[in-house]
Amino acid sequence: MSTQESVSAPQPETVESHYIESVVTCPACNRQNALYQWERIEATANPERAAQLANGTLYMHTCEHCGQTFALDYPLLYIDRDRKVLAYYPAGTGDLQTLSTLFEEATHRFGGVDLAKLKAQGFRMVITPERHAFIETVAVWRAGLDIDVIQTLKASLLNELASRNPEHTFADAQFVELAENDQVLCFALFASKDVTSQEDAEGIQNIRIPRSVYNIIAGI
């Protein structure tokens, strides 16, 4: 059985958020849990779910039997008509090269969405092979930031940290949110690339970067 939530604002092509009822097995107690698995999120119609995706909690579940919290993993299509962006996380399903070509050419429908229409409207469409990158991309977009600028800032940040603290380097950084009236960018620092979000990582550290640094890289 599936449930759909209609898009409230009229659009050239109506796209609905969609989820299905699913069952997962808790890795701690090995008992089954019923949950809603989202297949498509339309941010304008479902801002609460979009926010949960951006902070990583949409991909976390707490076992109803033993209370253990564990990460979920499933494909999800995210679309934000207000910001004209779309991202897809395949969760290991499908050939990445084929999917990338499909989104680059944008001549067919995918996941119930007419990619050609979105391309004509100026949408940016990306494939994110890793779940943590998918979550981060959505978080960056919802903060009104440019993902390319964020990637450049992260690379510079990691290089700077490595040069200052060669005995304790970090493998990756993940944008978390804007703070202090949108003037500070918060990042989580990870010692390993194996983690997928703050929720299922241990020993993470956080760092705050002034918005002015982002603006310099963005040429603002």
- Write out pLDDT tens, residues 115-161: 999 999 999 999 999 999 999 999 999 999 999 999 999 999 999 88
Long-range contacts of residues 179-184, Cβ cutoff 8 Å, at least 24 apart? 179/208, 182/143, 182/211, 183/210, 183/211, 184/208, 184/209, 184/210, 184/211
Report whether 175 contacts 213 (CB < 8 A): no
Residue 175: name the closest of 126, 136, 143, 215 by CA. 136
- Write out pLDDT tens, residues 67-104: 999 999 999 999 999 999 999 999 988 889 999 999 99
Report whether 191 contacts 170 (CB < 8 A): yes
- Write out pLDDT tens, residues 15-74: 678 889 999 999 999 999 999 999 999 999 899 999 999 999 999 999 999 999 999 999
The reported pTM is 0.85
Three-state DSSP at 70 gives strand
Q: Distance (Å, rounded) from C-alpha 56 to C-alpha 65?
A: 22
pLDDT confidence of 220, banded at 50, 70, 90?
Answer: confident
Biggest CA–CA distance in the chain, Å, is 55
Report whether 32 contacts 23 (CB < 8 A): yes
